Structure 1
């Protein structure tokens, strides 16, 4: 009989761990934009070693994933500041695939002929530009490609001019968007007039879709000051000579958001919309007389879509087998829905998290999925070919590598905490996890409260290497879905309306106190961390409460008045009207909640981590806080990373940030934290 060696007892926070900062950096890249391409599956994968986004693919024969393009190409764009669907694959028999994509270096659209697998695995395509280079002082982005009629692709074009002076500072006045048709023969690369404008409507545009018969065009639009999760318009127009005419809104507006729509037939659209407070699947039967019929096909108090942060997200797909969609509050389910019978058939039952960038053809869907037990992967899900046919199992396209540190990785748990006013705060708990060590009897672990960005975002319940770095050393981590988070209905999200800097702080405190009350955290050794909007909340927690002994602040918003005055990008330049209020009438509220206005109240040490090239939360936002705490002699560290924007992509930046946090917690909590041995 084999017995395990007894665990060593060591103080929490001082456990040895094989998970290194370098491993955290290596795993920091994400998977996005999957799509079935014939028998192949394609997706984008961030590469922290090169700070690029590689376009990857694999075949149905189980071949290892391989890059589609050679080194140096980075398949992403800066549309909306956060990017949009960056590629489209057109299948051509015999000659392989025609790939259309955007490259991050010049933001131009390119095309490349890609041989099919397996023979194409060793061939390196030679891309050629389809759009012209930008003129000085202008940046053009393209995203959300769909096949157009003839030899064209259609997409959303975003054009931004540089500011010429203080009177031209408002990014909204310097940015425009329109639906355009790009010829595939390459003539527009030298002749900008070869790009045809198909439609103009709103300041923001997403989800361009041509009807199956080619007679109509649908798209989603919205205008300042609304954010797309507040209200959008689903537009439909006739197509005449390749141009949209007589556009009309068929769903949305008011207090209704439509984040995605797809054609089910030449006269029928399916769309996600939330007139009842939850993003559910609706059908719009179009009528020539304008008497369109709108029906909620699947009413439920569960979200079937998320927030529209990027151009052309997708939470559902129309296929020959039915509608594939995800639904759920917290843990999600993937299902096949039959609009004719109302039947809802589970798909991929072992997975509980599904990103909003699903790709599909008529028989297959590809998506990025996750679960607490299985991690995160690109899945290819074949669909039944007949109503009574069984569903085939999902195939994992990105197989997990052998991981000797797996026993040290925390398994997340979804939980709720009750606030003093009775409402529930959702969060994901990552417990201290180490197979060889346990904490002393009667001691509680240090706690890191993690605040996600957005703030209209959400935290996933999948294993996280960054969190496990700390959990394997004896920390607990709680990632809070504070009021304002997506996934729990409009009412939960609207708790943050005009209360940013208050509700998010209070909910973070609620979770910290709940874990302390359960004996799962040491209230004297509880820190807070977060980036972007989470950086704002981290600063606000340090300024407004005495709950936290330290803060790790990543590329934050610190001065709401400055941010509202045009120091950020167009997409979020009016966001604060929802989060805080309108200026000048609500100026007092801005001053009450802005962390910079209360920087003198920050008494807990902090680290500030900032990208030098961040145009969303600019370095001066971080610098002002650093200047304020420096003037008072408060312990801090300030790291600015050259070549980094909003969110760190370089492995070195990620690793150095983790080690800066380690130094902070050692200083404040009196710990000696194991750094691990770099592999």
Structure 2
């Protein structure tokens, strides 16, 4: 059928898109079992699941448990599973009280019931907030080691800044449960920087390695790889062996007791380096130099982009699109492991050496396959073929695939001819086409971070709009990761300028190519992407509407106590130093320029957001409401930074549909046109 763009009938309702909005994270592999976390939008919790590759999935814990921590504000690896003689030992952080628990879990196919988890750490008291992340088994086997983050409560005026109230240490927690009632039983192993990640013990138990950094640096600007000797279970003589100012080390792993592999970017790209600690202080060697990224930004505690295995180092590499490969240290050969898969997450883990069938697990996807937990067998020898990867979870929203567009990586030309990378999602519907000679409406999407990136996998929210006849362009504006440090550094002191210019460049190029209607082009984004959406509306006349999720609206009031510790000094690199750069702050602030916003907008905000607090959205609402500008403001109780509830996601999509209907002169129906999906028989 031929129908106006934006009004195509679609089976993807706001509710079905919301129901499919959960994701998977933190895969592990133990004794041939694959484990992972899965967010559930129905309950706003995180379930722990497992399976044997190619077999049915089962839930590990009961519905009263949610496996998630709040370290750094964005969380971190939240569980550890190791195998014993009769069962698995699971250690995890419970979302509801942030305490760490242990439980013995029977192996799959043995019919053993899971015991009741018991706490390993004490309950918080007196307003203190404690979070535990990135757990590993200590060298004695009687403790779990992890990063502990402690934030004391505000004691009075002038104490709002969370940084002085927050400390982080690497600690040892007894597995016998003695610390649950005795906080002093938690033992400090190491301290160094304000921020810590990646706790790793050498195979012989003699050394400890970790990554640290301090304000005002963000971890993609500069971190230090620390190594210390372990004496009676305590780190001594800690030394920085790689990294520092303008060198970012997001991950390190032991190859043997005297050798570390690490990702670092002294040459402008996160590439694989090797450090030999028994070589008398010889510098790190880049063993696989390439102008391709092999890691990403460290937004959470304990992400992993590579693994040291029996057959070599398994890593992802690429510019934008990625490949998964194994590198052979003996020959230098790089062998592709997962042809056809192009999107890989920051959670790559290997099986335990010596287990039958070496393998890795990773979150993976491609342009036409949603994110899944991928089990990737490794070849036993370089000359032997590897078995095909196996998806352990059904790729997300596969039943809606005909209406969910495949992303196309493209490059536009921005200011001064610079490259602007983006992913284009065309209008996609097997039962509808637009009128001849008419270009579709366009939604320009700005990702959060801003030091982050978009991928080219199917996105159910994009599918909600594309199946109705919209095109979507998700922009990796200057400052995004995946394209080297030079591209990443474009945003330094240019936030609100480069990101806006690049979004405008993509919109104009698509319009010039007849792929978008310039009169019906809107902008959308969340968090830092919400900032960019607001800045686009204030600084250009390209966009007819804006959908703004939990935004930053004013850099002058988004620092210190106005946000969380991790990003409390982020604006210094993004905008500048105060008071010297006060005028520049005002020039780029969407709030300071709210009088220039002429297009209608919706603002969507979590009431419990401590990263971008509701006042950031409220001030924009007040400014546009005073001028009588059409707007909608939805604030969701029980939601933080990023919506987890099915009801919140659905209401947000309905609000966007109302916005575009109003701004573009079309009728965007957020309900499903396939009544079988709504549980009602077709007539």
Normalising TM by the smaller chain, what interval?
over 0.9
Match runs of 1:632-643 below 5 Å: 632-643=627-638
Superposition deviation, residue 401 in structure 1: 7.4
In 2, the alpha carbon distance for the partners of 1:474 and 1:504 equals 26
Determine if the alignment matches structure 1 residue 17 to structure 2 residue 10. Answer: yes
Q: Is the 8 A contact 2:20 2:397 kept in 1?
A: no
Match runs of 1:289-328 below 5 Å: 289=280, 291-328=281-318
Superposition deviation, residue 350 in structure 1: 1.7
Q: Is the 8 A contact 2:603 2:632 kept in 1?
A: yes
Aligned to 1:5: none
Deviations 1:296-350 (A, max 9, x none): 0000000000000000000000000110000000110000001121010110112
Superposition deviation, residue 183 in structure 1: 0.5
In 2, the alpha carbon distance for the partners of 1:241 and 1:400 equals 47
Match runs of 1:82-481 below 5 Å: 82-94=74-86, 96-120=87-111, 123-150=113-140, 151-287=142-278, 289=280, 291-361=281-351, 362=353, 363-400=358-395, 403-481=398-476
Deviations 1:244-273 (A, max 9, x none): 000000000021000000000111100000
SS, match of residue 154 in structure 2: coil
Aligned to 2:62: 70
Match runs of 1:47-62 below 5 Å: 47-60=40-53, 62=54
Superposition deviation, residue 288 in structure 1: 7.4
Aligned residues: 668
Deviations 1:445-500 (A, max 9, x none): 10000000000000010011110110011100000000000000000000000000
TM-score if structure 1 supplies the norm length? 0.97
Q: Is the 8 A contact 1:70 1:125 kept in 2?
A: no
In 2, the alpha carbon distance for the partners of 1:595 and 1:423 equals 25
Superposition deviation, residue 643 in structure 1: 0.3
In 2, the alpha carbon distance for the partners of 1:374 and 1:49 equals 23
Aligned to 1:80: 72
Deviations 1:22-57 (A, max 9, x none): 111111111100011111100000000000000110
In 2, the alpha carbon distance for the partners of 1:645 and 1:294 equals 41
Superposition deviation, residue 149 in structure 1: 2.1
SS, match of residue 284 in structure 2: strand
In 2, the alpha carbon distance for the partners of 1:387 and 1:608 equals 54
TM-score if structure 2 supplies the norm length? 0.96
Aligned to 2:670: 675
In 2, the alpha carbon distance for the partners of 1:177 and 1:409 equals 43
Superposition deviation, residue 216 in structure 1: 0.5
Over the aligned positions, Cα root-mean-square deviation in angstroms equals 1.2
In 2, the alpha carbon distance for the partners of 1:251 and 1:660 equals 48
Q: Any gaps of 5 or more consecutive residues in structure 2? A: 679-683
In 2, the alpha carbon distance for the partners of 1:543 and 1:178 equals 43
Aligned to 2:681: none
SS, match of residue 556 in structure 1: coil
Q: Is the 8 A contact 1:69 1:125 kept in 2?
A: no
In 2, the alpha carbon distance for the partners of 1:10 and 1:103 equals 49
Q: Any gaps of 5 or more consecutive residues in structure 1? A: 1-7
SS, match of residue 535 in structure 1: helix
In 2, the alpha carbon distance for the partners of 1:520 and 1:623 equals 35
SS, match of residue 443 in structure 2: strand
Deviations 1:542-573 (A, max 9, x none): 11111100000000001111112420000000
In 2, the alpha carbon distance for the partners of 1:183 and 1:525 equals 60
Choose 320-329 or 584-593, whichever is displaced more: 584-593
In 2, the alpha carbon distance for the partners of 1:402 and 1:328 equals 26
Aligned to 1:45: 38
Aligned to 1:4: none
Choose 183-192 or 390-399, whichever is displaced more: 390-399
SS, match of residue 614 in structure 1: coil
In 2, the alpha carbon distance for the partners of 1:402 and 1:247 equals 48
Q: Is the 8 A contact 2:525 2:532 kept in 1?
A: yes
In 1, the alpha carbon distance for the partners of 2:341 and 2:57 equals 21
Superposition deviation, residue 615 in structure 1: 0.4
